[in-house]
Structure 1
Amino acid sequence: MSDNVMQARDAISGSLAQCFVTIEGNRYNFMQAINLEATFEKNKTEVPILGRTGKGNKATGWKGTGSATFHFNTSIFRKLALRYQQTGEDVYFDIQITNEDPTSSVGLQTVILRDCNLDSTILAKFDADADYLDEDMDFTFEGFEMPQAFNELSGMK
């Protein structure tokens, strides 16, 4: 078998992750997270170029957005919404995600999303027909760090 083929064991398990949320110095293990996805999106401007029939594209900035689903069993984000309603003070927080599958040769990756801010939060919920309750959360973030990156797979270079 060729060394230039990814091995099945190097696919990262979707459930072997950790998620921590830090709000005002308090670090919470968000073990009730079901999924989370954060996206870095470049803002681009079309640039007319003399001598070309098509326009070029130049990056002019970026924005960070994310979405997550959690089990509906914590009031942390509802308390932040209540505080904003009562005082007008908006609270920003950090989210740290680590993916590590011990079977894979790629090791682990940690990404810290800085200055996250909720777009909305569910205040109350019930569903008499549901097996369990969950809640979706959309957010933005102002920056990110990657203190640990995956190793390159054998055969990539």
Structure 2
Amino acid sequence: MGRTGNYNEEKTMYGNFGAVFIEDSQVNEATGLQAKCKINKVEVPMCGTMSKKYKHVGWDGSGTLTMNKVSTRMGLLIAENMKAGKETVCTIISKMSDPGNGGTERVRLNGVKFDELTLIDWSAGKLGTESIPFTFEDFDYLDTIDPSTI
């Protein structure tokens, strides 16, 4: 019961159980976090084939933290360094768990550097939100969910 195809749909992770930590401090106002690695490739010319061939030569990490606007948290974290010509570098940990899944996935983003700071963005009849883009230099899986359990 509850099974369709090759996996149990009840094991699908639901975003409401996600959590974000910046420098070990939980960001309760976070409503979303996305981080991606873009693989950098160069074309490798090759005779005898009609298709292009590529070699992996590195990767770039980037993402966006989305939050309800309830404080000046990000301004306090970034502004002083930015005005002094310094970079704010921190660690972000994403925790995703779901009671229906029974597992937890945690990923640590290292060398996080924010791309911008929104000082003002509000309008009548609209809840205040912030979207903060960033780059990161490395990542580690701290906890994983075994695919054989789905």
- Residue 135 of structure 2 aligns to which amino acid in structure 1? T
Equivalent residue, structure 1, for 2:18: 17
Q: 1:77 and 1:33 mapped to 2: Cα distance? A: 12
CA-based RMSD of the aligned residues comes to: 1.9
1:5 matched residue in structure 2 = 6
1:71 counterpart = 2:65: no
Equivalents in 2 of 1:79, 1:73: separation in Å? 13
Query: Does the C-alpha gap of structure 1 residues 8 and 87 become closer, same or farther in structure 2, counting only changes over 3 Å?
Result: same
Q: What is the CA–CA distance in structure 1 between the aligned matches of 2:9 and 2:137, rounded to whole Å?
A: 35
Tell me the equivalent position of 2:125. 129
| 8 Å contact from structure 1 (residues 21, 96) kept in 2 | yes
Aligned-residue offset at 1:84: 2.6
Deviation at 1:80, TM superposition (A): 3.5
Aligned length: 149
TM-score normalised by structure 2 residue count: 0.90
Contact kept, 8 Å, 2:116 with 2:132, in 1: the verdict is yes
SS in 1 for 2:16: coil
Deviates more, 1:83-92 or 1:9-18: 83-92
Displacement, 1:86? Answer: 3.3
2:15 alignment partner AA: G
Match of residue 90, structure 1, among 64, 87, 90: 87
Moved over 6 A (4+): none
Whether the 8 Å CA contact 1:10–1:104 is kept in 2: the answer is: yes
**Counterpart of 2:106?**
110
Distance 1:74 1:142 in 2: 27
For residue 141 of structure 1, what is the aligned residue in structure 2? Answer: 136
Per the alignment, do residues 141 and 3 of structure 1 end up closer, same or farther by CA in structure 2, a change over 3 Å counting? same
Task: Give the TM-score normalised by the residue count of structure 1.
Answer: 0.86
Q: Which runs of 5+ in 2 are unaligned?
A: none
Alpha-carbon distance, 1:4 to partner: 5.3
| Counterpart contact for 2:82–2:88, Cα < 8 Å | no
Deviation at 1:154, TM superposition (A): 4.6
Residue equivalent to 2:49: 52
